Homo-oligomer: A and B are copies of this chain.
Amino acid sequence: MAQGVLHLVRSNGSLMTSRTGVELVVQRIASRSAKPGVDLLGAVFSTNVHDLVADPEVDVILELIGGEGLAKDLIESALAAGKPVVTANKAVIAAHGNQLLAGGNVPLRFEAAVAGAIPIIQSLRQGLAANRIDAIYGIINGTCNYMLTVMEEEGLAFEEVLAQAQALGYAEADPAFDIQGTDAAHKLTILAALGFGTSYDFSALYVEGITQIAAEDIQYAKELGFKIKHLGIAVHSDAGLETRVHPALVPESALLASVNGVMNAVQVVSDGAGETLFSGPGAGGAATASAVLADVLSLGSAIAGQSGAAAQRQNQNQDKPKAGPAPAISRVAMDDIASACYLRIPTVDRPGVFAQVASALSAHSISIEAVIQKEQPASDASVSIVIMTNRVVESVVNAALKELSALDTVVGEITRIRVAPTH
């Protein structure tokens, strides 16, 4: 990540200066490991990150370590020393954002923490600042989006595509962090805090990954007019704020449905600006560097153009709400959230099974909006009944699924994929 920043400063440094009036000087670089074999642009190198804080020539500190241990230490000591920090570290912000941003006197910026190159943080803070935000929908994990796209385009199974993604470097050797939804949940925690003025509360999110999605789900969804996307969803209604990360059916005609591969996108629905969407590469050294340097240049403009005290006031403006208490927003429990659902129910291939399933759903007042039932049984002689339900509260669907699962005609795990809300 640091290399991407160095590369962009080297190639575009003078362009940045002509655009913004800010001249970037890479004063110091610190790394726990050995000095990297790249052009450090004349910076002093050391293996102690706290040297960055101690150097009086350093105006802004870039935390590009990752993880929560040393990275958090560095951010804390920099802020305590009055030095603005730019970080790409979503885990630290999602877990410790409330604490790290509590003081608010020294700027802490994190454009690169969500959706890579996309200036979504700035857009929420400034570009859309006049709006009441109603909803945020994000394709915010490139690994999941890449895998779902390839599963759709090539009809491959989850495990095959995962191996392919790992070979291409789009998935880690241990992919759990991405494919189980944790990474997307970190990012949604940040988007929700900024969009709705709430606290950074990772634990309030419902989180589900893409591991249960089969190639056939993608095909069935297509027959029904949907694509399956792994979404971060934050919706504010009279009931409160719902924040959840899970695979979702998105209508094929929606712009989000056309965001493919490793690209990320965040759709923001607000009262004035309506439906706005921001897309771009969600990861990669150059994309992250673009976002990191946007933060640095913004801080640099403030430092260059202002006296010290005024700079802090101005930056404080952008980092936390200052006037009046933020309205308390209650969180909606996952059990209380209503969604239309796609259900794929593996059953024995026998007459009367569909009626049995339909009657179980009906007993919970769940109605069936569409059905797909194929003739040919799967290799294990089971057949899939695919059902689209009406919009039903989560707790009711859960109860119905429990009952369905207990039927001896149901011979495997039921797949439930929620339909994304629409505005």
**Footprint of B on A, CB under 8 Å?**
4, 8, 11-12, 14-23, 111, 116-119, 122-123, 125-132, 197, 253, 255, 257-260, 263, 270-281, 284, 286-287, 289-291, 293-294, 297-298, 301-302, 304-307, 310, 313-314, 316-318, 321-327
Contact = CB atoms under 8 A, between A and B. Distances in A.
B287 A281 contact: no
A271 B253 CA distance: 30
Given A126-B298, A272-B117, A294-B129, A321 B19 contact: yes
Nearest to A264: B276
Contacts of A278: 276-279
B127 A122 contact: yes
Contacts of A11: 132, 271
Number of copies: 2
Contact of A273 (B276, B290, B313): B290
13 contacts: A8-B271, A12-B132, A21-B316, A21-B317, A117-B128, A118-B127, A122-B127, A126-B298, A130-B297, A272-B287, A273-B290, A275-B280, A304-B317
A304 B15 CA distance: 29
Nearest to A15: B132
Given A22-B317, A278-B278, A304-B313, 20 more contacts: A8-B272, A12-B132, A18-B321, A19-B125, A19-B129, A19-B321, A117-B272, A117-B273, A127-B291, A255-B259, A272-B287, A273-B286, A274-B280, A274-B281, A276-B281, A278-B279, A301-B317, A305-B316, A306-B314, A307-B307
Contacts of A255: 255, 258-259, 263, 279
A289 B129 CA distance: 11
Given A111-B127, A130-B297, A281-B275, A324 B14 contact: yes
Contact of A272 (B12, B111, B273): B12
A119 B130 contact: no
Contacts of A118: 127, 273, 276
A297 B125 CA distance: 10
Contacts of A310: 305-307, 310
Contacts of A21: 316-317, 321-323
